[in-house]
């Protein structure tokens, strides 16, 4: 019976990291240690933690002193604040991928987006992300929740890291035609989708699928559903003890997958138990075969005394030949020995390992890469090899140079992961979901870890040597996962810190406009972006930043403020342009007559632009000598009028203007004979806009009507 274990079965990076942190805390801390909620959805793993002194607390209020471990699902910020206020030591084991989702949700909320979370509203990870939006986000589980989506122009989407990509796609398809400004952050952990895809593919190849993991683990239950959907007989179990012998009757191939919260030791125990079941089956078959053989031997006399003598003579001759040809260097399977390359061919290389003993290294055992033998070694070169088979078919020992390199590579990988070292590796090929690299053995870089931003075409990296960091190293599963993104983010953060330290308020720097939005423009200052708010772009009014700027344009800006903690930089463009107010002060004084456009009308008057970026107020009392009920009776927005400067307040940058000062003061009239004035006839003369022309009935008979009602 063949047993196939999925490459992505078992602990994901975040869970593995959380378990390591918890075990270390349990073994090293002298005070009480608790996890806030079950660290993972696996009772056996939780039990092991309990054995090293890590208890379980369902609520912060249940812990009065000691250490509290935040599980990989994460929690809301106020939970950590509450723990710290109680004087508890907090160890945050939140998965880095979950942290990213939390940070992006917080940023979307701060930028004014209505946040939607595609996920399970009852999942602790989703509850934590909600906390980063002040509980203002809306959780969308499936299409039945689409009705909860508010009618707004700005929506940002975050996904639960274990969410199905199809759920996210359905939500995005629904939002695209409805939302003007839509931001989608696919924060699904790549390992989740890879594990699900692999389970589906494995289910198609085997006769039976075993899904290992906690019964209350959502992602494990989903794996079982996927396997069943592919039509294969599937059993979901938590431990190897639950495996039943009769499940494996007439089974030739068994597939094993496991949820993200399933420890590797549970997978190993399950494999071992299946091997035992397989041996039991083989023993039964062997016993039956031996019984038949014995019956045949009893019927035939296959050996005579003469034959026995001949066999003995042949054995002696063979032993003598072996003694003559056998070298003083005895080789055993697994030995690592040094040898000298004596001959190179396309099939491999012959290696002299001493005392006239020669072994053969097949081409595919020379190195992990696809290099030709002559590209790997030279004749006369001394190399280290591992013995695969002390005596091959042609009498030569079968050796492997690759295995020695792999053993050393594993040691290097282990050290690199432990010390967070940077390693270099050549990209050998592009595969579904990422890149394969040569680190002395097969390494995998998920697509989401190739760069900070999504890259559609990964083939451009094939043949390149990349700097990477190890994020997963599972020797038992021969699984090495690396990340270039982590390194780039660290470098970016260092660069940002360096730039932040170098920036000084009021200094002028060069930058490139990277993005234009309604509220301003983002400017790259050489590795970190600053915000140029729309109000700081021009002294005058503008409707949108694109009226003044273009994406990709290089500009000079002034540093208005730097918040190093939040990594926020406020920029100004108008501050390095001539101040129109200073120009106005130098050009005009009280008593001057100015032409300008009415930019805005309010209850108490009208604002008039006297110079780009400078406005003055015409108070309602200064519009006309006659009583004015509403400003619009005299001027409206867009009118071009003349006004007299009656006041300049240099300190407050305020200008008082008057239209009525340019008109003749009307003569006083007999109160008893006062006629109603048509205030509209008092409108000032405009330079560009004219009131309606033509003669009206009121103009022809107005006086007669006035006399009738006197």
The 10s digit of each residue's pLDDT in 184-206 is: 998 887 677 778 888 889 999 99
- Torsion angle of alpha carbons 455, 458, 462, 468, nearest 10°? 50
Residues 338, 353 contacting (CB under 8 angstroms):
yes
In a domain, 318, yes or no: no
Q: State the pLDDT at residue 213.
A: 86
Sheet of 67-70, strands arranged across: 54-57, 33-36, 67-70, 89-92
Looking at 153, 170, 188, the residue that finishes a domain is 188
Spatial distance between the Cα atoms of 158 and 137, rounded to a whole number of angstroms: 10
Per-residue pLDDT band for 291 (boundaries 50, 70, 90) equals low
* 544 carries a ligand binding annotation: no
Q: State the pLDDT at residue 20.
A: 80
In a domain, 298, yes or no: no
Phi, psi values for residue 44, rounded to 5°: -70, -40
pLDDT tens digits, one per residue of 644-680: 999 999 888 899 999 999 988 776 655 444 444 444 4
Same domain for 371 and 348, yes or no, is yes
User: Residue 579 is encoded by which pair of tokens?
Assistant: 């101040």
Q: What is the CATH number of the domain that holds 471?
A: 2.40.50.140
Whether 510 sits among the annotated catalytic residues: the reply is no
Q: Is 28 exposed, middle or buried (0-12, 13-18, 19+ CB in 10 A)?
A: exposed
Does residue 296 surpass a pLDDT of 70? no
Same domain for 183 and 194, yes or no, is no
Which letter does DSSP use for residue 528 in this model?
A: S
Does residue 692 surpass a pLDDT of 50? no
Spatial distance between the Cα atoms of 598 and 640, rounded to a whole number of angstroms: 6
Does residue 314 surpass a pLDDT of 60? no
Which residue in 130, 26, 33, 140 sits closest to 76, CA to CA? 130
Q: Which of 62-71, 186-195, 421-430 has the lowest mean pLDDT?
A: 186-195
Range 442-448 average pLDDT: 89
Candidate ranges 274-283, 499-508, 635-644; pick with highest mean pLDDT: 635-644
Does residue 688 surpass a pLDDT of 80? no
In a domain, 168, yes or no: yes
* 228 carries a ligand binding annotation: no
Q: What is the CATH number of the domain that holds 71?
A: 3.40.1010.20
Spatial distance between the Cα atoms of 566 and 144, rounded to a whole number of angstroms: 38
Q: State the pLDDT at residue 595.
A: 92
User: Residue 325 is encoded by which pair of tokens?
Assistant: 């040809």
Q: State the pLDDT at residue 164.
A: 74
* 3-class DSSP assignment, residue 33: strand
Spatial distance between the Cα atoms of 607 and 592, rounded to a whole number of angstroms: 17
Element (H, E) at 125: helix 124-131
Does residue 643 surpass a pLDDT of 70? yes
In a domain, 456, yes or no: yes
Q: State the pLDDT at residue 264.
A: 77
Q: State the pLDDT at residue 618.
A: 95
Q: State the pLDDT at residue 309.
A: 53
- Residue 703 to residues 497, 668, 674, 682, 700: CA-CA distances in angstroms? 80, 19, 13, 18, 8
Range 309-318 average pLDDT: 50
Q: What percent of the chain has pLDDT over 70?
A: 85
Same domain for 432 and 512, yes or no, is no
Q: State the pLDDT at residue 669.
A: 53
Looking at 188, 218, 238, the residue that finishes a domain is 188
Per-residue pLDDT band for 58 (boundaries 50, 70, 90) equals confident
In a domain, 495, yes or no: no
Cα 33–37–41 angle (5° rounding)?
115
Per-residue pLDDT band for 287 (boundaries 50, 70, 90) equals low
Spatial distance between the Cα atoms of 627 and 644, rounded to a whole number of angstroms: 19
pLDDT tens digits, one per residue of 576-606: 888 888 888 888 999 999 999 999 999 999 9
Residues 6+ apart with CB under 8 A from 220: 41, 211, 212, 213, 214, 236, 258, 259, 260, 261, 262
- Residue 140 to residues 153, 177, 451: CA-CA distances in angstroms? 18, 18, 29
Number of domains observed in the structure of the chain:
6
In a domain, 202, yes or no: yes
Same domain for 451 and 399, yes or no, is no
Identified catalytic residue from 125, 198, 358, 405: 125
* The residue to which tokens 């070292």 are assigned: 421
pLDDT tens digits, one per residue of 215-254: 877 778 888 888 988 888 999 998 888 898 889 888 899 9
Residues 445, 471 contacting (CB under 8 angstroms):
no
Range 352-367 average pLDDT: 79
Q: What is the mean pLDDT of the chain?
A: 82
Beta-strand runs (E) in 451-490: 465-474, 479-483
Looking at 188, 214, 235, the residue that finishes a domain is 188
Per-residue pLDDT band for 328 (boundaries 50, 70, 90) equals very low
Same domain for 282 and 139, yes or no, is no
User: Residue 695 is encoded by which pair of tokens?
Assistant: 């003669």
Q: State the pLDDT at residue 303.
A: 47
Does residue 709 surpass a pLDDT of 50? no
Residues 468, 487 contacting (CB under 8 angstroms):
yes
* 217 carries a ligand binding annotation: yes
Range 295-303 average pLDDT: 52
Residues 167, 126 contacting (CB under 8 angstroms):
no
Does residue 77 surpass a pLDDT of 80? yes
Does residue 305 surpass a pLDDT of 70? no
Same domain for 571 and 597, yes or no, is no
Per-residue pLDDT band for 159 (boundaries 50, 70, 90) equals very high
* 586 carries a ligand binding annotation: no
Per-residue pLDDT band for 288 (boundaries 50, 70, 90) equals low
In a domain, 311, yes or no: no
Q: Which of 16-20, 398-402, 432-436, 692-696 has the lowest mean pLDDT?
A: 692-696
Does residue 386 surpass a pLDDT of 50? yes
Q: State the pLDDT at residue 13.
A: 66
Range 514-539 average pLDDT: 90
Spatial distance between the Cα atoms of 610 and 131, rounded to a whole number of angstroms: 50
Same domain for 709 and 603, yes or no, is yes
Query: CA 413 from chain center: how many Å?
Result: 24
Residues 6+ apart with CB under 8 A from 393: none
Same domain for 14 and 54, yes or no, is yes
More confident residue, 365 or 678: 365
Same domain for 385 and 438, yes or no, is no
Range 381-400 average pLDDT: 81
Residues 558, 532 contacting (CB under 8 angstroms):
no
Does residue 457 surpass a pLDDT of 70? yes
In a domain, 313, yes or no: no
In the Cβ-directed half-sphere of 71, how many Cα atoms lie within 13 Å? 26
Q: Which of 78-87, 149-158, 352-361, 668-677 has the lowest mean pLDDT?
A: 668-677
Structural domain of 133? 100-188
Same domain for 194 and 277, yes or no, is yes
Range 12-32 average pLDDT: 79
Range 152-177 average pLDDT: 87
Same domain for 479 and 442, yes or no, is yes
Q: State the pLDDT at residue 702.
A: 41
Same domain for 471 and 512, yes or no, is no
Spatial distance between the Cα atoms of 432 and 61, rounded to a whole number of angstroms: 47
């Amino acid at each position: 019976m063949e047993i196939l274990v999925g490459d992505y079965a078992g602990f994901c990076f975040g869970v593995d990291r959380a378990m390591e942190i918890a075990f270390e805390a349990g073994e090293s801390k002298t005070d009480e240690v608790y996890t806030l909620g079950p660290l993972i959805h696996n009772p056996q793993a939780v039990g092991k933690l309990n054995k090293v002194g890590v208890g379980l607390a369902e609520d912060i209020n249940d812990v009065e002193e000691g250490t509290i471990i935040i599980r990989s699902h994460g929690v809301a910020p106020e939970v950590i604040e509450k723990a710290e206020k109680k004087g508890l030591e907090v160890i945050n084991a939140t998965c880095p991928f979950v942290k990213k989702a939390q940070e992006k949700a917080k940023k979307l909320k701060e930028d004014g987006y209505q946040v939607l979370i595609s996920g399970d509203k009852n999942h602790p990870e989703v509850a934590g992300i909600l906390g980063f939006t002040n509980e203002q986000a809306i959780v969308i589980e499936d299409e039945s929740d689409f009705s909860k989506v508010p009618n707004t122009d700005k929506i940002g989407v975050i996904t639960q890291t274990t969410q199905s990509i199809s759920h996210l796609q359905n939500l995005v398809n629904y939002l695209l035609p409805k939302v003007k400004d839509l931001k989608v952050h696919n924060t699904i952990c790549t390992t989740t989708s890879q594990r699900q895809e692999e389970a589906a593919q494995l289910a198609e190849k085997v006769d039976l699928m075993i899904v290992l993991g906690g019964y209350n683990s959502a992602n494990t239950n989903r794996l079982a559903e996927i396997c069943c959907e592919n039509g294969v007989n599937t059993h979901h179990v938590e431990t190897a003890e639950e495996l039943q012998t009769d499940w494996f009757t007439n089974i030739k191939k068994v597939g094993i997958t496991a949820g993200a919260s399933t420890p590797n030791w549970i997978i190993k125990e399950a494999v071992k138990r299946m091997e035992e079941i397989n041996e039991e089956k083989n023993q039964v078959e062997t016993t039956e075969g031996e019984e038949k053989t014995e019956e045949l031997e009893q019927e035939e006399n296959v050996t005579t005394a003469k034959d026995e003598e001949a066999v003995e003579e042949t054995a002696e001759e063979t032993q003598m030949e072996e003694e003559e040809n056998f070298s003083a260097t005895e080789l055993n399977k697994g030995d690592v020995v040094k040898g000298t390359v004596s001959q190179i061919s396309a099939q491999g290389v012959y290696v002299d390992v001493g005392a006239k003993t020669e072994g053969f290294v097949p081409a595919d055992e020379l190195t992990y890469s696809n290099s030709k033998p002559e590209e790997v070694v030279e004749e006369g070169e001394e190399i280290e090899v591992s013995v695969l088979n002390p005596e091959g078919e042609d009498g030569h020992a079968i050796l492997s140079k690759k295995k020695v390199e792999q053993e050393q590579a594993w040691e290097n990988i282990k050290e690199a992961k432990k010390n967070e070292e940077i390693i270099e590796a050549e990209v050998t090929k592009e595969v579904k979901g990422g890149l394969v690299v040569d680190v002395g053995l097969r390494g995998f870089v998920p697509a989401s870890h190739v760069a900070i931003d999504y890259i559609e075409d990964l083939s451009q990296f094939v043949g390149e040597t990349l700097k990477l960091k190890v994020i997963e190293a599972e020797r038992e599963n021969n699984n090495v996962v690396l990340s270039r993104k982590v390194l780039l983010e660290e470098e970016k953060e260092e660069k940002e810190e360096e730039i932040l330290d170098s920036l000084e308020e009021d200094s002028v720097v060069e930058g490139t406009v990277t993005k234009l939005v309604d509220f301003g423009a983002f400017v790259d200052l050489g590795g970190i972006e600053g915000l140029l708010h729309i109000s700081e772009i021009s002294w005058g009014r503008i409707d949108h930043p694109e009226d003044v700027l273009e994406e990709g344009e290089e500009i000079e800006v002034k540093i208005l403020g730097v918040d190093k903690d939040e990594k926020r930089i406020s920029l100004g463009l108008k501050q390095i342009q001539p101040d129109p107010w200073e120009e106005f002060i130098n050009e005009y004084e009280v008593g001057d007559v100015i032409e300008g456009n009415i930019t805005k009308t309010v209850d108490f008057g009208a604002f008039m632009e006297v110079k780009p970026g400078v406005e003055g107020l015409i108070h309602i009392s200064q519009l006309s000598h006659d009583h004015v009920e509403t400003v619009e009776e005299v001027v409206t927005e867009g009118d071009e009028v003349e006004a007299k400067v009656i006041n300049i307040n240099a300190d407050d940058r305020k200008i008082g203007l008057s239209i009525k000062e340019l008109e003749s003061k009307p003569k006083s009239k007999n109160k008893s004979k006062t006629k109603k004035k048509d205030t509209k006839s008092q409108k000032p003369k405009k330079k560009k806009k004219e009131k309606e022309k033509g003669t009206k009935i009121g103009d022809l008979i107005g006086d007669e009507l006035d006399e009738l009602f006197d």
